Amino acid sequence: MLKQLNCPNSIVDLSSPQVMGILNVTPDSFSDGGKFAHFDHALDQVERMIAAGATIIDIGGESTRPGAKDVSENDELERVIPVLKAIKQKFDVVVSIDTSKASVMKAAIESGADIINDVRALQNEGCLAVLANSDVPICLMHMQGLPRTMQNEPTYSNVVDDIILFFKQRINACVDAGIAKERLILDPGFGFGKTLAQNFHLLANLSAFEKLDCPILAGISRKSMIGNLLNRDVEQRLAGSLSTAIVAVQQGAKIIRVHDVEETVDAIKILKAVADNQ
């Protein structure tokens, strides 16, 4: 496998694990009242994440959270595109856009997005065509069901095998549409239509996805699988998040999507020192 991602104007080296910092641009934080204060706050957060060692910034609305309502196309464009443009103007960092809408993908790519991160794996109308007409890398995430209802009795014959089959089908759909396999990143979608046991089984077996020959992304930071196991509120999940990040890296994940960049970078450095001195 080629251990790098070729973005339009940069290369992401995946010979060592990279930390992707999450930037939420939520309806709350961008309500009309305090738009500019929140905009500056977002840029400050990006600056801190870059200083802490994030090499990718993932911009997303909250449209994908379990139980979430759909966000309109206009709302999503207004929320994401100005922040994307400001980040690309101010910082030299790879930016990924968390969206499932073809129109948002197109606008984002035209505005300098380096990676498209789609929790629906390009299954929505028009997405394959938009990406076929560009050269950005794409993260294909697995989700069973839809955000509003996906945590109601998720079922699999075998969660790892079922997701591997899903990825094979999506890789084929991409290649058939004219998207080179070398552009694809795979993410089993922790928390997206999986029980607690299924989530931990996926984490324990993450290396099984390496046979698909694409880089693996893991997004577990602060999720319910941590909160439910440890009985911790969302602001008390740092230790749990770091522990899962380390396991994911040990299992071969090349991109770790997190809120707490500095702490995750430290934890990965410890793991590297162990590996370097074996």
Q: Which residues are catalytic?
A: 223, 257
Strand order in the sheet with 56-60: 184-187, 138-141, 115-118, 94-98, 56-60, 18-24, 255-258, 217-219
| Number of residues that make up the chain | 278
Cα dist from 141 to 31, 116, 181, 185, whole Å: 29, 11, 15, 8
Chain centre distance of CA 227: 19
Give Rg (Cα) of the chain. Answer: 18
Residues 273, 269: Cα–Cα separation, whole Å: 6
Contacts of 79 (CB under 8 A, 6+ apart): 25, 27, 30, 61, 71
Is residue 56 near ligand 7PM by the rule CB under 6 A?
no
Q: How far is the CB of 36 from ligand 7PM (least distance, A)?
A: 23
Q: With respect to ligand 7PM, which residue has the nearer C-beta, 90 or 207?
A: 207
Binding marks (x or -) toward ligand 7PM, 66..105, rule CB under 6 A? --------------------------------x-------
Binding marks (x or -) toward ligand 7PM, 109..148, rule CB under 6 A? --------x-x-------------------x-x-------
Give the range of 103-111, 128-136, 159-167, 216-224 binding ligand 7PM by CB under 6 A. 216-224
Amino acid 94 reads: V
Is residue 17 near ligand 7PM by the rule CB under 6 A?
no
CB 164 within 8 A of CB 210: no
Give the range of 30-38, 42-50, 76-84, 184-192 binding ligand 7PM by CB under 6 A. 184-192
Q: How far is the CB of 20 from ligand 7PM (least distance, A)?
A: 8
Is residue 217 near ligand 7PM by the rule CB under 6 A?
yes
- Which residues of the shown chain bind ligand 7PM in the complex (CB under 6 A)? 22, 60, 62, 64-65, 98, 117, 119, 139, 141, 187, 189-190, 217, 219, 223, 257
